[in-house]
Amino acid sequence: MSTASTETTLASPAATVRVIASPQSWVEGEAVRQLEAVARLPGMKAAVGLPDLHPGKGAPVGAAFTSEGLFYPYLVGNDIGCGMGLWDVGMLARKSKAERWASKLEVEGPWNGDVEGFLAEEGVKPSGFEGALGTVGGGNHFAELQRVDAVHDARAFAELGLEADRLLLLVHSGSRGLGEAILRAHVDRHAAGGLVADSDEARAYLTRHDHAVAWARANRALVARRVLDGIGAPARRVLDVCHNSVTPRREDGALRWLHRKGAAPADEGPVVIPGSRGALSYLVAPVGDGTGSAYSLAHGAGRKWTRTAARERIKERFTAESLTRTSFKSHVVCENKDLLFEEAPQAYKAIDRVVTDLVEAGLVKVVATLAPVLTYKTRSREE
């Protein structure tokens, strides 16, 4: 058999590439180029950019990819299991003591409770990274107390058991060092290469991946518990979704692999799409069957400026102190000044436009908008 005919045999139709974003949602050209590069990987069937699409390290963030026959741990990235959890807090928003909480609340270092017992309650095995369980982490991670700004769909809101006058707690965090260790072990052998799905190595990765997803969910639950202990309120978990993962899915009669890289699920019920700490967050309910968007939604506002650019530009215009309050009069706990600048609201795109794009694409309906009361980042001053 000639080389040419072999290539013909192996050739598969190009993957579908789709960017779901209106012209008003500016998307960097580099992010689209990254999306197209991923679409050319062997086995790829679809590459979908959501309205918060932005460039990442090799692969774009705010995107979902489906493949057949093999999958790519590199596309999931290091923070396997990262996602958003929402809690209904048993406290009226008007009873908030945001200023006092901002000075007292502390969620740092290893939890001094029964970590193993907590994991057992969550049905998760220990990983060896329990020293970080119950910590928010860095970058864009946070724990945020919110009040209901407006209810847009009273029925869907009530079906979630929510009340307009009660506080909510949104936690964005992941698997800390655990996911990082799992990706590193893969990259050491395969770099950005994929795994043949029907192989022992693929099964071993998926076992570790699934553990990291469960551990990350437990991590968010422990962060929530520590915040709630700090403010002295009970709470009920309303939802918890993962936006960095790879999962099997039957589609068009074939077994496919759905990679989500900063993409919320459109097939697990309502999700929260957070803005920056100085913007509204949106509680939305998926609409439609998800086939045109790889069963995924935007996971946030998406960066407008790189971390370096944000530090430089925002330092010129704002003091660190002024950035601990927002236009919503909410408080920000972030004693690391660089992080305070990097994560300033000005560094992010407008969440309103991102959500409007999803509504206009027929992917979601807005259930409620949520406003920040207190955003917890870190007490640590290390830089």
Spot the catalytic one: 186, 209, 211, 299.
Answer: 299
Residue 311 CA neighbour count, 13 Å, CB half:
9
> In whole angstroms, what is the distance from residue 108 CA to residue 110 CA?
7
Give residues with Cβ within 8 angstroms of 35, minimum separation 6: 17, 19, 47, 49, 53, 60, 63
DSSP H/E element including 214 = helix 200-231
| Under rule CB under 7 A, residue 174 binds DNA | yes
Q: Which is nearer to DNA, 108 or 360 (CB)?
A: 108
| Under rule CB under 7 A, residue 73 binds DNA | no
Report H helices in 293-383.
307-317, 337-342, 351-360
Dump strand ranges (E) for 69-157. Answer: 70-71, 83-92, 142-151
* Options 28, 98, 122, 139; binder of DNA; rule CB under 7 A: 139
Residue 5 Cβ vs DNA, minimum distance, rounded to whole Å: 42
- DSSP conformation letters of 8-57: HHH--PPPEEEE---TTS---HHHHHHHHHHHTSTTEEEEEEEEEEE--S
Q: Which is nearer to DNA, 68 or 130 (CB)?
A: 130
Kindly identify the residues of this chain, within the stretch 271-290, that bind DNA according to CB under 7 A. Answer: none
| Under rule CB under 7 A, residue 188 binds DNA | no
| Under rule CB under 7 A, residue 141 binds DNA | yes
- The answer to whether 129 is a known ligand-binding residue is no
Residue 141 Cβ vs DNA, minimum distance, rounded to whole Å: 6
| Under rule CB under 7 A, residue 131 binds DNA | yes
Q: Which two tokens stand for residue 146?
A: 């919110």
Which part of the chain contacts DNA (CB under 7 A), choosing from 41-49, 113-121, 128-136, 323-331?
128-136
Which part of the chain contacts DNA (CB under 7 A), choosing from 31-39, 45-53, 93-101, 178-186?
178-186
> In whole angstroms, what is the distance from residue 205 CA to residue 190 CA?
12
Catalytic residue flag (residue 299)? yes
| Under rule CB under 7 A, residue 218 binds DNA | no
| 118-137: b (≥16 Cβ within 10 Å) or e | bbeeeebeebebbebbbbbb
* Options 52, 68, 79, 144; binder of DNA; rule CB under 7 A: 79
| Under rule CB under 7 A, residue 144 binds DNA | no
Q: Which residues are known binding-site members? A: 140-144, 172, 243-244, 281, 299-302, 377
Contacting residues toward DNA, per CB under 7 A: 78-79, 82, 128-129, 131-132, 137-141, 173-174, 176-177, 179-181, 380, 382-383
Q: Which residues are known binding-site members for Mn(2+)? A: 141, 172, 243
